[in-house]
Structure 1
C-alpha cells in the first residue's frame, strides 16, 4: 500500500554516520584474519584511525622541520598530510553513536574507550604544537556573561 509519500532524506550527519560505519566495517573485514564487530576493541579503532591518516589533508610539521610551530609557513615542506584532530574527534563521535544504534552495549563501546580519548588528546596537542596553534579552552558562556554583567554593572549610570 503506497501512500505516495517518500521518507524524508537522511540528514547530512546521518548520511555521514552511515558512510563512516560502513567504512569501519569494511576495515574490520579486510583485517587478516577478519574481525567480527562484537570482538572489536579500542586497539582496532586505533589501527583504523592510523590507517585513515594516509588520506588526511592537514599538513602536520615534524619536529625537525624548519616550519614546526609556525601557523603559516612561508614555503612548502615535505612534512606529511594527516587527518585533522577535529575530523578524528567528529568521526569517533559518529562511530560511537552508530555502534550503539547497531545494538552494541554502551559499556563495551570500543569508540568510547579510554585509549581512544588519550589518543585524540595526544593528536590534538601534537597538532597544536606542530602548527603553532593553541587550543585554549573557551570560557563557558554563562561564566563569560557573568563577567560581562559584573564589568558593565559598575559603569551603568542607572541605580
Structure 2
C-alpha cells in the first residue's frame, strides 16, 4: 500500500510540476511576445501626418499673396512690403495683364463692342476685370492676415478702386458686356391664412 501511495504522490507531484512549468512557459512566451511587439512599435512608421485641406478661396489667396511677394522681390529696386503703396499695386495689376486671356478690343477695332469676335483681330489679351477685382479682394485680406494694418493696406486705397472701376467700364464697352451688380431679392412677405 505504501508503494501505491508513493506512486500516486509522485504522479501528483509530476503533474503539478508539469502544470507549473507550462504556466511559466506560457507566461514567458507572452512576455517575449509583448516585448517583441513593443520593440516593433518603436520601429513601425508613425501614422501619416494629416495636413489641413484649404478651401479654394484660401488656396487662391495664398497663391496670389506669394505671386505678389515674388513681384516685390523682383521689382527694380527690390521693394519691401512695408514700403508698398497703391502705385505699386497698380503696377502689379498692369504686370498681370501679360498673363490675361480676355480679348479687349481697341476703339479702332471693327469688333469693338462685340462680346463674340467673328474673326481674329490684333487686339491684346488682358486680365478680365472680374479676375482683377477678385485678386485685389484676396490680397487685401491676405495683407491683414500677414500682419498688415487695415489703415496701411495698399490694396484698399481709393486709387486701386478707381483703377478697377475704369477697367470695368473700359472692358464693358470694348466687349459689349454690361457689368451690373446683382440685386438682392427681398424676401416677400406672404400672408398666412388665419385659421382661428
Equivalent residue number for residue 27 of structure 1: 71
Candidates 45, 50, 55, aligned match of 2:94: 50
Runs of 4+ in 1 over 6 A off after TM superposition: none
In structure 2, C-alpha distance between the alignment counterparts of 1:90 and 1:98, rounded to whole Å:
12
Uncovered stretches (5+) of structure 1, i.e. residues with no partner: 154-159
2:180 matched to which residue of 1?
A: 136
d(CA) in 1 for partners of 2:133 and 2:176? Answer: 20
Aligned to 1:89: 133
Give, in angstroms, the shift of residue 16 of structure 1.
1.2
Measure the CA separation in 2 of the matches of 1:34 and 1:5. Answer: 37
Q: 1:105 aligns with which of 149, 160, 163?
A: 149
Work out which of the two has the higher radius of gyration on C-alpha atoms and give 1 or 2. Answer: 2
Displacement after TM superposition at 1:75 (Å) = 0.8
2:5 equivalent in structure 1: none
Q: Verify: 1:17 aligned to 2:61, yes or no.
A: yes
Higher relative contact order (CA 8 A, sep 6+): 1
- C-alpha distance in 2 between matches for 1:96 and 1:119: 15
Task: Provide the rounded CA distance (Å) in 2 between the counterparts of 1:137 and 1:21.
Answer: 27
Which residue of structure 1 lines up, in the alignment, with residue 115 of structure 2? 71
Structure 2: tracts of 5 or more residues without a match? 1-45, 192-196
Q: After TM superposition, give the deviation of residue 139 of structure 1 in Å.
A: 2.4
Report the CA distance between 1:22 and its aligned residue: 0.8
TM-score relative to the length of structure 2: 0.70
Q: Aligned-pair distance for 1:32?
A: 1.4
CA deviation string 1:1-31 (max 9, x = no partner): x776613222221111111111101111111
RMSD of the TM alignment (CA)? Answer: 1.8
Structure 1 position 68, deviation (Å): 0.1
- Is the helix fraction higher in 1 or 2? 2
Q: How many residues align?
A: 146
Q: Which residue of 2 aligns with 1:124?
A: 168
Report the Cα distance in structure 2 between the residues aligned to 1:32 and 1:7, rounded to whole angstroms: 37
TM (norm. structure 1) is 0.85
Match of 1:156 in 2: none
Aligned to 2:94, the other structure's residue is in SS state helix
- C-alpha separation between the residues in 2 aligned to 1:112 and 1:9? 28
